A and B are shown apart, each in its own frame.
Chain A
Amino acid sequence: MLALLWRAVRWRRATSLAVLAASVVATAAGTLGPLYARSAEESLLRQRVAQAPAVQVGLTVEAQLGGPGRLTGDMSSDPTTGQVGPPVVADAARAVAADHRLDRWFGPPSAFVELDSTSLVLDGGSVAGLAQPVWLERACEGLQMDSGTCSPGPGQVLVSRRTAQTFRLAVGSQVRLSLAARPLRVAGVYADVAAAEAVWGARSPIQWTEPRQPDDVLKVDAVLVARDDIDDRTLGGAAGAYRPLRRDTILLSTTGPVVADVAAVDRDLRAVGGRPAGAVRGVAAEDLPPMTLTNQITDLLAEVAPQRRDLRGAALAITLQLVALAWFVLFLVVATTTEERSAEVALAKLRGLSLRRTAVLALAEACVLLLAAAPVGLALSYLVVSRLVEGVLQPGTSVTLDRTVWLALAAAVVGGLVAAALATARLLTAPVLDQLRRTAGGRAARLRGVAVDAVALVLAAEGVYLLRTGVSGAVALATPALLALAGGLVAVRVLPFVARLAVASTRGRPGAALFLAARNLARRPAGSRVSVLLAVAVALAVFGVQEWRIAQEARFDLARTQVPAAQVVHVAALPPWALAEVVGTVDPEGTWAMAAVSVDGTLAVDSPRFAAVSAWDPAWVGTTPAGLARVLRPPVDAAPVTARDTLTVTVDDALPARSSKTSLGARLIAPDGTDRVVTFGALARGTRDYTVRLPSCADGCRLLRLTLDVDPFGDVQPSGTVTVTRMSDAGGPVDAGLSAPGGWRLARTASLTLDPSRVRPQDVATSAAGLVLTVTDGTGPAAEPADHPADPPAVLGDRASYSPYDSGSDAPTVRVAGLDSTQLVVTATGRRGPLPVVGRAGALVDLRNAVDSAAERRWSEADAQVWLSPAAPPDAVRRLGAAGLSVRGVDSLAERQAVLDGDGTSLALVLYLVAAVAALLAGGGALLASTYLGGRRRAYELAAARLLGARRSSLVAAGRVEQLVLVLLGVLVGGVTGAAATWLVLDALPAVTGGSEAVRAYGVRWPLLLAVTGAAALVAAAFSELGARRVVAAADTGLLRQVQA
């Protein structure tokens, strides 16, 4: 039997090869999805773990340190007795963290002690600022030294390069910290480096923070001290141990064990009250402060779980479609080749072979080829996924043949066997005479065909209904195949009717080609199955390419919204305009760097630089880059008022006599962007000059505000006016616009921002006499020059909801978060859309306007950023650091794009793209096989036609027309249904375009659609031409010597 089978396979080489190829495609299709899905899940996990901050995935065992009485609760206790020294606490934490159960997942522990910040006193007695004393067990591994040693001994410290440069310290210099009675010698200077996760975890010695408020104190970078010197029991703080996660150990197969091990250690620690099992350095466990174990790996894995689920579901939906298509291809190929085998099967029946033996004869070749193809198909999909892993997934991701893959392979083989069995079923059930006479199936076969069509139509309709009513996920991704199948079946049912109409019109024409083609198409051509298959293949391809491309664009747009420049450098907070000034010194031309500050949903940008630097597209809010700058920072007529060194004002105090002190003050902004608040002192009745010195204003400070304050505790709260008639500085008169109409206005203080009913614009007015400030019942106004917009313009997110502000004007004004701790009144420009950084619920304002309009000017803890364009020099970040900015971190648009490219939906769509390519190849292969292998059936009738005198050229032309109609019909239906599916799925599967964060509406990409459909049509047409020529060439009249039964 096997020998006979082998002979049969070799005898029908072309057929066997076609069946083998179709079988390889079927098994590859069935295993591609599961193989890729597992690797993609692994990649997703790896990416999340790799990008997770150290604090999220590292393991920390930590105890709080008490100052005097903190642990005992007795504030009067001797601070040197009853307390455990910080180093011992650190050792205890280290002992807990060193649990062997964690060795598989975490690196070696390193202990640390971080005390509360204390004054760093320089050798001359001056205070440099606040510094945090820190001891770290493995400091040398985490620091890059500028000079000196990395391991301070007793009485020695390490300072940062910035501290050393700012305060002119070097190795050998002396400083003092409160934790040591004697001076400490600088033993080493460490460079400003980012935290080394393996040693520091989330901690960083880089802590430099400039004072934002006038009464703030400078905080310098951490001072590293020796272990012996950190034993200060008067300061609070924390001591503990940190173990970094071995990120490459977190795989799909290890997520369970790592969570279990961490939970077990944590559980054991809690069971003993958070203390180690035994004494540490002679200190009993019960004397040690309680420790807590912190690790968020479980939370991280829980975050990833939904995306992993979605990925698996998507892979299943895609695999089902692809493997169904592959089975269809296999069915088609086997069905096409049954004509060759019909006589053998009839012979077997004639010989009286049982149904079982006849079925074996009919199916054996296909089964053997399918089984032989299984390992080849698996190898092919393994190869494809391996390439995808290299190109798309996280480095190091493995391709694993797990149980799911083997099950999928088995299912693909079984499905292929079923497809082959269905294709050969007619051979087994057809009457012997019909097989011998090659007559078509009867009414029963036609009814079966109608039933199949009806089922497909119902499934497609149900799929569309489910999509439109909100069911998404796997149903959504299965839509293209269902729609294309339904469309293809309807089209091939309609085609014969249309062809019949063409028969009449082509009957009388010269040349028989069109008539023959119309006749063949009218009688339900055997090639209709190829049309349906091409429709499904092209629809899958169109859909896959479209969705992938749209998702890619959406991810790029989303990335540009989240990281709106090539690089976004996060720096330690400064006064906002000071940040802009520093950036201005680094990039004077404004071509590659821009300051930005984000706080509580408000993003303030240096508008003139926006166009050159930002990658975010202002078209999303309906304007151009230059237009946006004009919108956010409209030109104002008035020039800024500046004064150098001193400021003298001539004031006519016309207030009635009072006991309440009335004083005039001024706020200015220095060239470095920091504020200067000065007071002219108490006013006296009558006209006098008042002069104040302006510190650090030798180059001119800009006048922001004049304030008139009345002592609220006075007996009489006066009402009346104070007029500023003249202003001058050290250089002479200052043109402050005191008499210019609209030159000054009421400044919006915090209270007026909160309660617009208290706004009295008339309290500030310019007149011929000068700037008139009206005091009402003891309340004096603040006045500002009109050198910036009163309520700065803002672009709001399209989902922003801000409370309106009645500013008394017609312009729509709302309150948004200001850069200080108060609200900022802005004028909504009417342009709305997804905003950079702050998203769809935020507000975008100009930085300078926001600074000028700030009510309180106590700057918030904001996210200070410097955006860098692609034109930034390679050492741009270093230049920013050298200019005095303390870099906290850098986000890159490319990295953000990579992160988004690695999410579940993106990875699923990559599979769809691969499936699209595979579908096109399968469709093309099936067309080729059908054309070549099915030609024999047509050859007889063409031979008869030639015998009757039909010319070869006419037959070729007829075949060409017929094939072109069939394949182009399939391609057209596929293109249309693929586009329709794209449109439907975009609505139903919002994750494709970013879900609720989608930047804009996305639609069908018509050029791409035309390109894919056009390419498919060209290839299909070429195959058809080859097939038509080949069939006619094989239509030799000698075929007719075979006498029919």
Chain B
Amino acid sequence: MSDAILKLEGVYTNIAQYHILQGVDLEVPRGAVTMLLGRNGVGKTTTLRTVIGHWRAHQGKILFDGEDITKMPTPAIARMGLGFVPEDMGIFADLTVEENMVLAAASGPINSARLDWIFAAFPPLKTFWKSDAGTLSGGQKQMLSIARAMVEERKLYLIDEPTKGLAPAIISTMARALKDLKDQGASVLLVEQNFAVAKALGDSANVMDDGRMIWSGQMQELATDAALQERLMGLSLEAH
């Protein structure tokens, strides 16, 4: 497929002496939500961190928007138009919500239409605009983390488990915001353990196991095939 915004070809990543990624192949099509699924510890987060450059692939190739970013420094990759929401949210607790957002808008002042949209999606951010981000609740921090990625239009959003540890009401807020992003035609690579959310958002799905991609296809196909889910991830819809 030529219209992939992101392409990983045989990527190997080591963390200390551990081989975490062992030849990951992945294609993220433009203008769609691509799910990255799999049990815990199979290398989903490492895949995202390798793309942004926090870990270095010691073998293989990563193409972003047609350019080889495998050895590019993290800031340069980010500047190419990559929005990153890390698993630990990466909030600057000592900065206010506003300062967090100003920093995230790296190319200039915050676009006000975009900010209105973010406030509509995540009202608490408006309420606590001038408060230290460290005083926010877990769900609000996650909102801020996603809002930071959304504050500028990115070519690709890498989002790592946005619903982790959140209450159901907040999860639906997250899902709605991500749905919104999707409806705008954004390209998203999403790691998600909540299968209901994955099913609702994903266009295509990729399942990892043991540092490799073991299945790629349409999300629809995976969502309707309980036996396949059981085989790939050791879960079935009934279990959820």
A in complex with B: no
